[in-house]
Amino acid sequence: MTVEKAKKRGRPAQLLQVAELHAFVEYLLEKDPRTDLQNQVIDALEAEDFNFEMLSEAQKILVKEALKPYREHLKLQLLFDELSKNPRQTEYEAKFIELFHAYQDNQLGVAELNILKMMCTRYLNFKAQKLQYADLELYLSQIQKKDAGKKRKAENNRKYQLGGAVIAAYKELGLNIDTLTPDQVRKAIVGNKRIINKIEKSIIFEQIDMDLDTLYFRWPIFLKVIDKLAMIEYEGEVVPEYIKEIYLALSECKAGKK
């Protein structure tokens, strides 16, 4: 009686094609920087002329491990290429393309990258099983809710940081704002900025700008000019001319308020 050898159970060993390994190495060579694992895989494949069966068992494990993200990348790239050809894209497809562009620019975090991969998987399943587009819309609405939540959180953090910066600025100036309301602080900042804008539009300031064409020295020179004008001696006058101008400007301002 012939005893047949028991068939080995489990998934048969994959025979990786040379063409795929060539493309895989080209993909890795474009990466900068590369991980130690990726460099080891490149060296091993090039040493054996891309023949997977010639690799040691340890090297085969390394290659298979490094191939996983490459194949994920190919799946994303192929779907992106397909969707980009569509002249009119659904909201789901447009969102995938938007995320893929960020992925190409290495601007996706781990969470966003996982969303991109999941969108790809769901879309391919959607096409394969001919599901309703509503199934994709439901997942897209979940993504949009998360995006909106992140945006609100970022905006709130920004407001908190700006508030801290305002408090720090007032503290640096030695001004106490503990008794001021937020609206009073806002009005003070806006009022100070408007005064600065008016000064910068004055004849003296504009002349400094015109003659020097430099931002750094504008204010020091303007203040020195004002001080020098106040120090001019006017012969035969009891009241200096600049004092007269101050009183004249004051009277004009009062008249304007009536």
Whether pTM > 0.85 for this model: the answer is no
Which one has a higher pLDDT value, 194 or 248? Answer: 194
- pLDDT for position 220: 82
- pLDDT for position 212: 63
pLDDT surpassing 60 at residue 14 = no
Q: How confident is the model at residue 9 (pLDDT cuts 50, 70, 90)?
A: very low
CA distances from 199 to 48, 196, 202 (A): 76, 5, 5
CB 90 within 8 A of CB 135: no
Q: Which of 14, 35, 23, 139 is nearest to 78 (CA)?
A: 23
- What is the DSSP secondary structure assignment for residue 8, as one 8-state letter? P
Averaged over 153-165, what is the pLDDT? Answer: 84
- pLDDT for position 97: 92
Q: What is the spatial distance between Cα 238 and Cα 39, in angstroms, rounded to a whole number?
A: 89
% of the chain surpassing 70 pLDDT: 81
- pLDDT for position 76: 92
Tell me: the pLDDT tens digits for 190-218? 888 888 888 888 887 887 777 666 666 77
User: By mean pLDDT, which of 94-103, 133-142, 230-239 is the weakest?
Assistant: 230-239
